[in-house]
Amino acid sequence: MANAESRNDINSPGRGGRRWAEIPSKPSQDYDKRSVLLGKNGWVLREKYNGKDSSSETRLTCSSGRKSNFPVGGFYFVFEYTVINENCPGAEWNIMCRGCCEYDQIRCKCPNQGDVIGYAVPCCRNEANECDPCIIHPECGGVINAKRGYIAIESYPTNAHCEWTLNVNPQFTIELRFSMLSLEFDYSCRYDYVEVRDGDNVDAQVIGRFCGNERPPPIRSTGNSLHVLFVSDGYKSFDGFHLSFAESSVVMCRSPAAPPHGMTTGDDFRFGAQVTFHCEAGFHLEGNRKATCQLDGTWSSETPRCVPDKKRCLDPGPLLNGYHLLVLGADDTPIIVQFFCNSSYKLNGEFELMCQPDGTWSGQIPECVKLPEKKHCKEPEAPVNGYYILSRGPGDAIIAAQFFCNNTFALSGNPQRTCRQDGTWSGKTPVCVKGCREPKVSDMVRQKVLPPHVTSRTTPVHKFYSFYSSSSSSTSIKLQNEVSPTKGPPVVEELPPGFHPLYTQLEYECASPFYHQTGSTRRKCLKTGRWSGRHATCLPVCGKFPNLNLQKLSDARWPWQAAIYRRSTKILKNESFKDDWQLVCTGALINQRSVLVAAHCVTELGKLNVIKTADIQVVVGKYHLSDTKETKEQQQLRISAVILHPNYDSLVLDADLAMVKLLDKARINEKVQPICLPEAQSMDSSQPQAFVTGWTILSEGVHVPENETSRVGAIELGDTVDCEQQYAQNGISVSITENMFCARESKHQFSNICPSDTGGIAIFPVSSTSTAGGQKDSGLVWQLLGLVSWGYEQACKPGLYTVYTRVASFKDWIEKNMK
């Protein structure tokens, strides 16, 4: 029996109303070792021997496989258990109540041997707050020699340390499986864990350490033994673990093939065994040196290769008056050697040598030769009208000089001189001469260079020299030849690229007839180093339409018209989406990067929100309405920005004006030209002739006629009062602001356009002498009068007024933003 040493009287009836149950007789037979599975919160029983109480002994006994009813709080808890043997409790007896007194331990001893077999932990407290009763946790571990078996630890105690050694027949291995695992979890399994080693002792190779509640996969030994260690700390305890083991036949791998020029060592080809590969002398191994037999009967790696050894280059040794550096490869063999010389020595030979496959270097070892003693250079002479900047080396010695010229002078010669070893300067001192830097002009300006020339000029002083010229003396003739105030320029030395000598002349003209020149047509390089005159520029000609026939307006191809497109998304029959472009307005090109358009064309309907630039496109050079005709002549231009006039009112459409800035520059040609802005004075009804042009705006999905082109019509400007009264008579109350004007179809001239339906731009011609640029060439110059803003919704009638945005009212804003 087990003795319990405690300050509690465990022989008395169970505290808190509980009583001990009695077990009849002690079983006489021995039993094989096996697990004892007892219910949690169970009880340790007190047994009588020969009708007598053993007051200091506790024992839990019962025949193998029998059921026993244990009282718990007035009820019986039924569970099965197995007694291992009649001696002290074995290693598998392991139960424990949870919850309150797990730190108070009672040591238990066997009565016969007197050995300490375990300890008791009082598990529950009664009404008097006393621990009640104890459960024995026996010592655990041992050696198991069997073909199969299992180990179970349930409700394990704290501070446990149990070791098992499992052995099967020598010709077999062991396969171990966990059926349950419930231990305290830790990423490193430092507190409660089960450790399995591949061998019969604690020093064998570790297969794995396990904790938590995730069961590991089946474990297989390489031999016929496994070592199992269970450890718990003094804190938390969980349900424990169940594991089973069984004898397993040995897995064999095929004998591995030895690599060419190599061999293998190791004659054990069972699971877990290793073989080692070796190479003959003069060869080295590429691949894994060892391979392990795996559970599926294959080796863990492929057979490696034996490759010939690469010959090693020897260290070239010290370099006299210098040193060398070795660059090592992956196997610490020299692959490159670099040579350096000490100061005042120069390397004679290759700076770098490569190691060749035959173990020799790629060239001869260089040598360091003594440099001649270098002499210092004195400071060079500065050029007239110039200066230099010195570069210095070690010891503040001068090594180079960089030469520069003062303003209005150009450097002729090499701008840099270096100090030689013998203390002399390379090259010659450059000369600073008078010259002019060539002015920059645009690609459309054609430049012609004329040779230097000074025209003789006559001044009143010439009479003085004429007096001497009348004399026949040689002195007077010599004086006249030497001091003539208008003699030609002296010959100068060669100038650097980009400079011209004094008195050189440049002539300019525009490269295209669609451009006109501003600035000077001829400029001369003056003695001050500056050019005479003004900078020459070629700008596109605006408003020119030389071949226009006013009698055939329907055939007119207006070069400043710009088609404004907006992206629209169509829903196809298969419910997919397709991006398309819809023509929405006609704008006016006013320079190569600016298009004027009505603000309502580039904003959301009735709002001030500008459409994204990616959803707007400008096309110039367009004549036909169809997008498939004349595609080569059209220019599709991307948008960089849309500038809305700050006073634009989206409700009454006042200041209905916006400028579209082009990311792509419009190419000026016969069919693409800008229109001129109007003069500063405002236009009125006295304007003799005006026209409106534009493309017909079709609804989305409507077929576009192949021959449909830009439309045009003559208009006459109307009085503001008459315009407002006409709208009032048609039930529309409007107010015409100073930023608007009204116009309707001319009764006596050609028209095939309805402005309120198509939109468009209003233009008018003026004589060339009255334009803002003072152009003197013959013909008419066209100016932008206005942009169609709004009108009637009903069918077009000749007598109805259309309201336009007056461009002249915004000329300052336009010129500011078109730069």
> Would you place residue 794 in the very low, low, confident or very high pLDDT band (cuts 50, 70, 90)?
low
What Rg do the C-alpha atoms of the chain give, in angstroms? 55
- 584 annotated as a binding-site residue: no
Domains in the chain: boundaries: 1-139, 142-248, 262-308, 322-370, 375-454+489-540, 550-817
Q: Are strands 57-58 and 635-637 parallel, antiparallel or unpaired?
A: unpaired
What are 713-738's pLDDT values in tens digits? 999 999 999 999 999 998 888 999 99
| Residue 250, annotated as binding a ligand | yes
Maximum average pLDDT range among 8-17, 379-388, 538-547: 379-388
Average pLDDT over residues 397-416: 88
Q: Between 3.40.190.10, 1.20.272.10, 3.40.50.300, 2.10.70.10, what CATH number should domain 262-308 receive?
A: 2.10.70.10
What distance in Å separates the CA atoms of residue 721 and residue 14, rounded to the nearest whole number?
Answer: 118
Among the ranges given (84-93, 336-345, 757-766), the one the predictor scored with the smallest mean pLDDT:
84-93
For the record, the structure tokens of 264 come out as 């293998």
Contact 807, 786 (CB under 8 A): yes
pLDDT of residue 96: 38
Q: What is the mean pLDDT of the chain?
A: 77
More confidently predicted of 297 and 67: 297
Q: Which amino acid is at 130?
A: E
Residue 350 corresponds to which tokens in the numbers above?
């290759």
| Phi, psi (degrees; rounded to nearest 5) at 365 | -70, 125
Measured from the Cβ of residue 327, the count of other Cβ atoms closer than 10 Å reads 12
Residues 450 and 524: their CA atoms lie apart, in Å, by: 9
Q: Are 786 and 761 in contact (CB under 8 A)?
A: yes
DSSP 8-state class, residue 192: S
Q: Do 142-248 and 262-308 have matching folds?
A: no
Rounded Cα–Cα distance for residues 218 and 46 (Å): 41
Q: Would you say 256 and 303 are in contact if contact means Cβ atoms under 8 Å apart? A: yes
Tokens for 510, please give them.
């525009």
Smallest CA-to-CA distance from 727 within 780, 623, 801, 643 is with 801
pLDDT score for 138: 53
Q: Class of 550-817 per CATH? A: mainly beta
CATH classification code of 375-454+489-540: 2.10.70.10
- Homologous superfamily (CATH) for 142-248: Spermadhesin, CUB domain (2.60.120.290)
Which contacts (CB < 8 Å, 24+ apart) does range 362-371 have?
365/316, 365/319, 365/339, 366/319, 366/339, 367/319, 367/320, 368/319, 368/320, 368/321, 368/322, 368/341, 368/342, 369/345, 370/321, 370/344, 370/345, 370/346, 371/344, 371/345, 371/346, 371/421
Contacts of 639 (CB under 8 A, 6+ apart): 613, 614, 616, 617, 618, 660, 661, 662, 663
How does 37-50 read in b/e, with b if 16+ C-beta sit within 10 Å?
ebbebbbbbbbeee
How large is the average pLDDT for residues 8-33?
A: 33
Q: How far is CA 70 from the centre of its chain?
A: 72
Please list, in sequence order, all residues whose beta carbon lies within 8 angstroms of the beta carbon of residue 750, skipping any fewer than 6 positions away: 553, 554, 712, 713, 714
Q: Under a CB-based contact definition with an 8 Å cutoff, are residues 750 and 713 in contact? A: yes
pLDDT the model gives residue 526: 87
With a cut of 70, say whether residue 385 has pLDDT above it. Answer: yes
Give pLDDT, residue 687: 60
The secondary structure of residue 419, as a DSSP letter, is: B
The DSSP line for 445-494 is EEEEEE---------TTHHHHHHHHTS--HHHHHHHHHS-TTPPPPP-PP
What phi, psi does 335 have (nearest 5°)? -120, -25
Alpha-carbon span 56 to 1, nearest angstrom: 9
> Using CA atoms, how far apart are residues 714 and 603, in angstroms rounded to an integer?
29
Architecture of the domain spanning 322-370: Ribbon (2.10)
CB 213 within 8 A of CB 182: yes
Secondary structure of the chain: what % helix, strand, coil (to 5)?
5, 40, 55
pLDDT in tens, 593-620: 999 999 999 999 888 999 999 999 999 9
pLDDT tops 60 at residue 399: yes
Q: Are 618 and 601 in contact, with CB atoms under 8 Å apart?
A: no
The rounded distance, in Å, linking the Cα atoms of 193 and 33 is 23
Tell whether the model's pLDDT for residue 32 goes beyond 90.
Answer: no
pLDDT in tens, 776-787: 455 789 999 999
Does residue 92 register a pLDDT over 80? no
Give the single-character DSSP code of 76: E
- The yes-or-no verdict on residue 195 having pLDDT over 90 is yes
Q: Give 551 or 652, the one with higher predicted confidence.
A: 652
> What is the mean pLDDT of the segment spanning 278-292?
89
Question: DSSP class of residue 720?
Answer: H
CA dist., res. 705 & res. 624, Å (int)? 9
Following DSSP, what letter does each residue of 200-241 receive, concatenated? SSTTSEEEEEE-TTPPPPPEE-SSSEEEEEEE--SS----EE
Q: What is the pTM of this model?
A: 0.48
Token pair 């108070």 in the structure block, residue = 104
Residues β-bridged to residue 635: 620
